[in-house]
């Protein structure tokens, strides 16, 4: 059996019996919370083994009793930042409603910690809260005539798209009402002043059909993009039912 890294042993409370050495003076969750607080205040670049150690009153070397690298620290940070899902699905809820609620809730956790979409992930989710989110997503898709692999793949597609949508929204500065005097707020007008209708006839035509720039970019594109994915799952379900 593959040996669990130390940080996973601590997060899952599965330390080997008889382990030598002093007992940790802080919990792995406290260390993760300290790192999250630094990232929330000063950005992900401010998080280092040294800064986190100082925040919890450790020497940098002491922190290595919990995590072996900054990548492992990032995994702990995500687990703390996401927290456990708080979703209850009733028997009357349709699967599209359930998975939409799931996707919106995990997006709200990412918006609460905008750096979360930039953390380098070097393995599939293995920490407790991220596993709980996976279980909750599978519960949302429960009852569909799909294999477990198909449900997992559908969940991966939804979550990957959702994470990228949050990242794009944050990076483009479209998380709230945009100032009409900025590229975000006056995007369509700006495009119209840049493109030549003869060179870009399709883009010019599209610009005249798009709604007002003051619409909520995240919500509008979230509903449309997720709807496309769910329509694809629905088509797969119909084929499965034959």
For the segment 102-156, what is each residue's pLDDT rounded down to a tens digit?
999 999 999 999 999 999 988 889 999 999 999 999 999 999 999 999 999 999 9
110: nearest Cα among 184, 171, 199, 187: 171
Q: Lowest-confidence range among 17-26, 45-54, 91-100?
A: 17-26
Report whether 122 contacts 113 (CB < 8 A): no
Distance, C-alpha 143 to centroid of its chain: 25
What does DSSP assign to residue 5?
P
List the alpha helices (DSSP H) in 113-186.
128-140, 148-171
CA-to-CA distance for 168 and 104, rounded, in angstroms? 16
Give the list of residues 6+ apart from residue 21 with CB closer than 8 angstroms, or none: 65
Q: What is the DSSP string of 43-55?
A: -GGG--HHHHHHH
pTM: 0.88
The CATH 1.10.10.60 portion of the chain extends over: 6-82
Summarised one tens digit per residue, pLDDT across range 155-167 is 999 999 999 999 9
CATH of domain 83-176+229-242: 1.10.357.10
The CATH 1.10.357.10 portion of the chain extends over: 83-176+229-242
107: nearest Cα among 221, 240, 236, 234: 221
User: 6-82, superfamily in CATH?
Assistant: Homeodomain-like (1.10.10.60)
> Averaged over 177-186, what is the pLDDT?
60
Q: Phi/psi of residue 227, each to 5°?
A: -60, -40
Percent of the chain at pLDDT above 70?
86
């Amino acid at each position: 059996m593959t040996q669990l890294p130390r940080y996973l042993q601590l997060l899952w409370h599965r330390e080997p019996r008889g382990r030598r050495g002093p007992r940790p003076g802080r919990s792995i969750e406290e260390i993760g919370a300290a790192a999250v607080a630094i990232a929330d205040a000063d950005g992900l670049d401010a998080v280092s083994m040294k800064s986190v150690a100082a925040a919890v009153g450790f020497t940098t070397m002491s922190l290595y009793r919990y995590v072996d690298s900054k990548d492992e620290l990032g995994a702990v940070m995500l687990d703390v930042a996401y927290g456990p899902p708080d979703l209850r699905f009733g028997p009357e809820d349709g699967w599209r409603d359930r998975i939409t609620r799931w996707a919106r809730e995990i997006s709200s956790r990412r918006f609460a910690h905008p750096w979360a979409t930039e953390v380098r992930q070097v393995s599939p989710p293995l920490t407790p809260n991220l596993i709980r989110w996976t279980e909750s997503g599978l519960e949302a898709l429960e009852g569909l005539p799909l294999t477990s692999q198909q449900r997992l793949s559908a969940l991966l597609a939804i979550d990957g798209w959702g994470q990228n949508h949050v990242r794009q929204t944050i990076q483009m500065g479209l998380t709230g009402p945009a100032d009409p005097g900025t590229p975000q707020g006056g995007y369509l007008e700006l495009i119209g002043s840049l493109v030549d209708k003869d060179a870009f006839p399709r883009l010019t035509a599209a610009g005249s059909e798009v709604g007002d720039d003051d619409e909520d970019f995240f919500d509008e594109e979230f509903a449309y993009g997720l709807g496309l994915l769910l329509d694809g799952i629905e088509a797969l379900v119909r084929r499965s039912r034959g």
